[in-house]
Structure 1
Amino acid sequence: MDTNRLIALMPDLAVFIIVVDEGSYTAAAKKLGVTPSALSKQISRLEQSLSVKLIERTTRKLMISESGTKIYEQCKVMTNAAKQAVEIANYEHTIPSGMLTVAAPKAFLSIVLQPLVTPFLTQYPDIQLKLKASDGEIDILSEGIDVVFRLTERPSEALVNKKIGKVNLTLCASPDYLEQRGEPQVPTDLLDHDCIYLGETATDHIWDFVKDDQFHTVSVTGRYAVNHSQMRLKGVKDGLGIGIFPDFVIKEALEEGTVKEVLKDWTIKGNYQGDIALQFAQTKYMPARLRAFIDYISEHLSQ
């Protein structure tokens, strides 16, 4: 029997189970909200499709044939499997469980998200969490990502976007470096300083600054470039030059006084600044594990 015919038979098979369980067409019809004659026609149609007698009709009660008994047993397996599928679906949407894959920029992942991992998994023991560190573009559908964090002023319009915070870029240097080399007063002063940049692209040594209606683009130079935020920060602390960082990277260093903000009246434009955008694919039925993660992260980052 081909798949289309089998699918067409399933409603009749389900009705057959109810008729057998209720013991009469009248009781089954009352349960289903239809007439007994309609059920009788449905069973007759099923018997014709299967080419087998399922029910022997008598004036007193229904008698299930031997073939009908065997088919009934298999139909119960079918409906039980269907119930389990529904229960799984309900569980998925009510009990946070299953695998959740999250992608985020490397520094944000290690500094901001990492401290939240253990408490989250402790609170939701049925969730498995897979983290992916990536500073590049992420195609969440093709890469199997459930949710991605972006630090940007232009989040993807193809995804649902939840703004959970703000990231600014900060220029800083060590107090010793500034004492020896002097503190820049305007962006163009950086031309006389050693600057530490990423070294990832041909243009990431070009820094843009904005203040009111003033705009400066400065092509900085320096002896050290590294695309790892913690190593770059270490270089700044060691006096190797001036560097740009997302504020969450240098928050602790600023509080400790191991670095000092430079050109604080100027806004720096570049990558990894803007909204902290938590993005995921549009779905009508959001899994409970995804909802739990979004709510948990939103609550803790807002604090």
Structure 2
Amino acid sequence: MDHIHLMRVLVAVGEQGGFAAASRQLDISPAAVTRAVGALEEQLGVQLVQRTTRNVRFTDAGLRYYDDARAILQSIAEANEAASGINAEPRGTLSVTAPVLFGRMFVMPTIIEYMQRYPLVKVNANFVDRVTNLVEEGMDVAIRIGNLPDSSLRAVKVGQVRRVLCASPAYLEAHGTPQIPADLLQHSMIVSNALSPRVEWRFEGGDEPELVQINPRLVVTSNDAALSAAIGGLGITRLLSYQVRSEVERDSLRLLLETFEESPWPVHVVHREEKYGSSKVRAFIDLMVERLRAHPHL
């Protein structure tokens, strides 16, 4: 079989998350997809894909080969675009992921501007409060908050946000205002697992970092829910500065223990593209970086 065809099949399996979905994308039978992946594994002499009854996963070798194959196919597509003179016009489908509130507040306006500027591009926006795997979930671009682990992904820093403690004026009037992190042990605490699964909160500002073991009264799975509970006067919560900015400005919430805050968390635009990646991804990254770096709250 043509080696480029085999690579396209493998990349489709990775991007679509399975053989059946890849067959639909490529308009070939599932059996043909299975034969193509098997032929590629035979040529390379290594297992690329682990097949189970529920899903398909790449082996370590398969994941590396998938990344290389995707880059090669992208280079071929770019060469074809350049030869036909259409590389300057972004087109196709772009997949973007970001945290829910950050996506709504900061990313969505840029997506709208991007789509108005480039009418030939469709966008899939996946806003979730978890770290998505760009390779396994077929994402082109992600906006990540926090320190990044070492990886083959490329990242552009665009700003930073703070982790802040806050509570409503009514709660503080009724229960008092904590003066040091240890005072939190005497308060009603609201914890969002979306921000961090830990209930051991780290504070700085002294000679050494301080860890406080939080015993939450309310645990929620979204930052929106934690925000609502704090505004409603249930207790103290810890969120990111951009999530509470409007409520602080309206005095619906007040910031606490600011001198003990951790160092700010960086915000990055993360992607898999090479320097000369597809025009649709390059154009979006350039616009996203420009808009986020100019934002006064980052």
The TM-score normalised by the length of structure 2 is 0.67
Q: Are the structure 2 counterparts of residues 187 and 250 from structure 1 closer, same or farther at C-alpha, using a change threshold of 3 Å?
A: same
**Aligned residue for 2:164?**
170
The TM-score normalised by the length of structure 1 is 0.66
- Structure 1 CA distance, aligned partners of 2:157 and 2:142? 12
- Structure 2 CA distance, aligned partners of 1:203 and 1:119? 34
Q: Are the structure 2 counterparts of residues 87 and 216 from structure 1 closer, same or farther at C-alpha, using a change threshold of 3 Å?
A: closer
**Aligned residue for 2:279?**
288
- Structure 1 CA distance, aligned partners of 2:86 and 2:260? 48
The Cα of 1:284 is off from its aligned counterpart by: 4.5
Per the alignment, in what secondary structure is the counterpart of residue 233 of structure 1?
helix
Q: Deviations over 1:110-133 (max 9, x none)?
A: 232123332221122111111112
Per the alignment, in what secondary structure is the counterpart of residue 93 of structure 1?
coil
* Conservation of the 8 A alpha-carbon contact between 1:155 and 1:277: no
- Structure 2 CA distance, aligned partners of 1:137 and 1:202? 11
Structure 1 segment 117-266 matched on structure 2, within 5 A: 117-199=111-193, 204-266=198-260
**Aligned residue for 2:289?**
298
The Cα of 1:195 is off from its aligned counterpart by: 0.7
Structure of greater Rg: 1
The Cα of 1:86 is off from its aligned counterpart by: 3.0
| RMSD (Å), alpha carbons | 2.8
Q: Deviations over 1:257-299 (max 9, x none)?
A: 1100000101237xxx611111111425311111111111111
* Conservation of the 8 A alpha-carbon contact between 1:193 and 1:222: no
**Aligned residue for 1:275?**
266
The number of residues matched between the two structures is 221
Q: Are the structure 2 counterparts of residues 202 and 263 from structure 1 closer, same or farther at C-alpha, using a change threshold of 3 Å?
A: closer
The Cα of 1:247 is off from its aligned counterpart by: 0.9
Q: Deviations over 1:158-193 (max 9, x none)?
A: 111100111211110001111111100000000000
**Aligned residue for 2:104?**
110
Name the amino acid aligned to 1:257: D
Name the amino acid aligned to 2:293: S
The Cα of 1:227 is off from its aligned counterpart by: 1.8
- Structure 1 CA distance, aligned partners of 2:213 and 2:282? 44
Per the alignment, in what secondary structure is the counterpart of residue 207 of structure 1?
strand
User: Which aligned segments of 4 or more residues in structure 1 are displaced greater than 4 angstroms?
Assistant: 87-92, 199-203
Between the two proteins, what is the percent identity of the paired residues? 29
Unaligned runs of 5+ in 1: 5-84
